[in-house]
Amino acid sequence: PAPIHVVGGGLAGSEASWQIAEAGIPVILHEMRGVRGTDAHRTDGLAELVCSNSFRSDDATANAVGVIHAEMRLAGSLIMACADKNQVPAGGALAVDRDGFSHAVTQAIENHPLITVVREEIHGLPPAEWDLAVVATGPLTSPDLAKSIQAETGEDQLAFFDAIAPIVHRESIDMDICWYQSRYDKVGPGGTGKDYINCPLDEAQYNAFLDALIAGDTVGFKEWEGTPYFDGCLPIEVMAERGRETLRHGPMKPMGLTNSHNPTVKAYAVVQLRQDNALGTLYNMVGFQTKLKYGAQAEIFRMIPGLQNAEFARLGGLHRNTYIQSPMLLDHSLTLKSRPGLRFAGQITGCEGYVESSAIGLLAGRFAAAERKGEEIVPPPATTAFGSLLGHITGGHLVHDEEPGKRSFQPMNVNFGLFPDLAPGSIVKPEGVKRFRGKDKTIMKRQLMSVRALKDCREWLGIA
């Protein structure tokens, strides 16, 4: 068979190449390091870990990233095999010796009889003669290639920054304090007029919150992150510093909202949360992109009435990150709708993290190999961690919004908020247990989702 071209030998590209080659299809892997570096990589090794050496929790019984580890092992992942071989002690987490890990991946790829590694920068989208290709050039995709992606997809379809507002698990929001309502009860496309969750603040609460925001510890920009702020995306603490009324006239304005628990008292300020996934299990804090340190964020945002017990699926941040608007651009097999045969994989698709990038590389590699063999492409079930993450990327995203043009797709780690709910009645108090609290229910839910995911993944892979 003709080879499949993979651009980028990072985590996703290495895994994609391995999966394709293991399916018996030749691969040409184009990696620019060796010829041109990035602002974060320090070596020429494949699958270099640019920052932490952790693949996070390895608990496959109740942790979403642990579950995706297990699914990747079942699918014969090279990244997981090399991580397991180079593990260093880290409690329940899977951490690795970064050089040993990258070396193992490089050796395995370079020694595979069906893989050829070419050290070169690819300046534009794959040429037409590469009928099947995977672009896995990561958050630091080189500028020429980024420009051609932009030219193909449209300017506003490729982001260079990740301006992230915190995302909260809906079940941790106190609905005895908050209420559902869209501003002025406006009904957007697909909406109901009750699309937002609103948290009311009185004057004293607003002032205390503002003081905490201004005093909060922020993360400085690294030099390579370039232009700090851009239009319409000011960090919330920077807005707070501009004047005590700025937030009340910006993202925290109370107009057009009536507290259903207390309709006669007008809130002094309101924080709105907007549905973030089609399942309705995750909500993002509207306009709350921030550079506050993680610890400070959790503490300060829990001062907001209704969020006192908030569990965050993702905290806010502002980073250099190249990624495409995948839900608009990619089909369910990660193929660019406008260019059949061209797939994207890794962080550039809008997943976040070493493990997630590798997992999406694994799927892109399998899909490309199946296409080359003329086989039907069967995506993983939505109940698996693979399927949940793929759903986030290729379309499980929000269905309605007041300002459709402004809706933004944000990269995310795998988490149980992306998994479809369990069948009603699945969570039952175990016999002999006296107190079965909310926390116990959450743990049981995660355990049941993990078991379901691994069972369905085995079935998908045809493993008994």
Q: Give SS3 for 366.
A: helix
Q: What is the DSSP secondary structure assignment for residue 397, as one 8-state letter?
A: B
Binder among 23, 75, 140, 213 for ligand FAD (CB under 6 A): 140
Q: What is the DSSP secondary structure assignment for residue 77, as one 8-state letter?
A: -
Site for ligand FAD (CB under 6 A): which residue of 347, 410, 415, 450?
347
SS3 breakdown of the chain: % helix, strand, coil, rounded to 5?
35, 15, 50
The interface with ligand FAD within residues 20-79 (CB under 6 A) comprises 30-33, 38, 40-41, 50-52
Closer of 12 and 173 to ligand FAD (Cβ): 12
Closer residue to ligand FAD in complex, CB, 137/284:
137
What CA–CA distance (Å, rounded) separates 285 from 221? 22
Q: Does 136 bind ligand FAD (CB under 6 A)?
A: yes
What letter represents residue 42's amino acid? R
Q: Among 45, 126, 138, 287, which residue sits at the site for ligand FAD (rule: CB under 6 A)?
A: 138
What tokens were used for 71?
Answer: 């699914």
Binding mask 276-315 for ligand FAD (x = CB under 6 A): ----------------------------------------
Q: How far apart are CA 136 and CA 174, in angstroms?
A: 41
Among 3, 45, 126, 139, binds ligand FAD (CB under 6 A): 139
Tokens of 355: 């493990």
Residues for the chain: how many in total? Answer: 464
β-strands 196-201, 269-275 pairing: antiparallel
Q: Choose, by CB under 6 A, the member of 10, 45, 365, 417 that binds ligand FAD.
A: 10
The first and second tokens of residue 212, run together, are 């905490």
Q: Is 451 in the site for ligand FAD (CB under 6 A)?
A: no
Examine residue 350 and tell whether it contacts ligand FAD (CB under 6 A). no
Q: Which residues partner with 162 through β-bridges?
A: 319
CA distances from residue 249 to 163, 234, 355 in whole angstroms, order as listed:
21, 14, 40
Interaction between residue 145 and ligand FAD (CB under 6 A): yes
Nearest residue (CB) to ligand FAD, 367 versus 460: 367
Alpha-carbon distance 48 to 9, whole Å? Answer: 9
**Segment near ligand FAD (CB under 6 A), from 11-19, 248-256, 425-433, 442-450?**
11-19
Minimum CB separation from ligand FAD for residue 385, in Å? 15
Binding residues for ligand FAD, rule: CB under 6 A, are 7-13, 30-33, 38, 40-41, 50-52, 121-122, 136-142, 145, 346-348, 353-354, 357
